[in-house]
Amino acid sequence: MPFRTRLTEMLGIEHPIVQGGMMWVGTAEMASAVSNAGGLGIITGLTQPTPEALRKEIARCKTMTSKPFGVNLTIFPTINAPPYAEYVKVIIDSGVRIVETAGTSAAAPFIKQFKDAGCKILHKCTSIRHAKTAIRLGADVISVDGFECAGHPGEDDIGGLILLCKAFKELSVPYIASGGIGTGAGLAAALAMGADGVNMGTRFMCTVESPIHQSVKEKIVKADERDTSLIFRKFHNTARVFKNKVAVEVVSKENKPNANFDDVKDLVAGTRGRVVYDKGDIDHGIWWAGQVVGLIDDIPTCKDLVARMVGEAEEIATKRLAGLVVRPRL
């Protein structure tokens, strides 16, 4: 039986499982497969090179699923920033009403635009203090990203177990668990800690429909929980990536005295990471992966993965946990 939570009710989805935005991975194929499986699929907006390309990708996704899906837009202040306002307009004009946002205070005006258009906002945070700020800005759901997650886990180094329990005490809106989730046990645990669902990136990368090279998927299956690296620590922009030759070289270079970002920028170029996904050359560039790689041992379809996780979580909730409760004899 499906779980009914505030997330499923709010977004009109069957299962409380969200596929987070992933650069180069969150295409119409990925998003539609997750949505068709009963979760919430998400197109990664900036994977598309232009706002017009995103418009076409959203339209393409609509031909592949009749179920709800969202679009991710990560907003950071940079010197050569993408035309965020144009991406926002395309998302709204295309009729998308679920948006996953991430980023700093630079996201605030765009969150307001989305809210004014009637969008539901899922905002990614790595700390409770940032989550409270996002709620004040209008976020409807917080994605609580623990230190285990792929991408940027923040600078506080707080694991998901602590963050989720603290979120239960302090957050006023629904929240979902992100980082380290890839099994039914993880889903059950998240729900037990007050979450209304889970967000998965790395686990969905390793599915049949994921638009990345088979060699990358097989590498994930062979990996264990020690096979990720934290880069950019010295630059206070920590990122968790798969531990390959490039990641090891980046860590070595940034740990040298007087190192700066220019010493590694060519190694970490996004175009190099895209070659990994397209060609299967595991060591060509850095690529995102969370510690959940240690829990991944197969490459299922999205439908089979979601069904399996929900089934495992239901069994844990209704049998194992229920069986641990001892009622006193009267």
Segments of the chain scoring below 50 in pLDDT: none
Contact 244, 305 (CB under 8 A): no
Per the structure block, which two tokens stand in for 170? 């302090």
How high is the pLDDT of residue 167?
Answer: 98
Of 53, 105, 97, the C-alpha closest to 75 is 105
Side chain identity, residue 115: K
CATH superfamily entry for domain 6-211+303-318:
Aldolase class I (3.20.20.70)
For 278, counting Cβ atoms within 10 Å of its Cβ (0-12 exposed, 13-18 middle, 19+ buried), the class is middle
Phi-psi region of 21 (alpha: psi -120 to 50; beta: other; left: phi over 0): beta
Side chain identity, residue 44: T
Of 11, 6, 72, the C-alpha closest to 40 is 11
C-alpha span between 169 and 131 (Å, rounded):
13
How high is the pLDDT of residue 1?
Answer: 67
Residues across the chain:
330
| Spans of all domains in the chain | 6-211+303-318, 228-288
C-alpha span between 91 and 88 (Å, rounded):
5
Phi-psi region of 202 (alpha: psi -120 to 50; beta: other; left: phi over 0): alpha
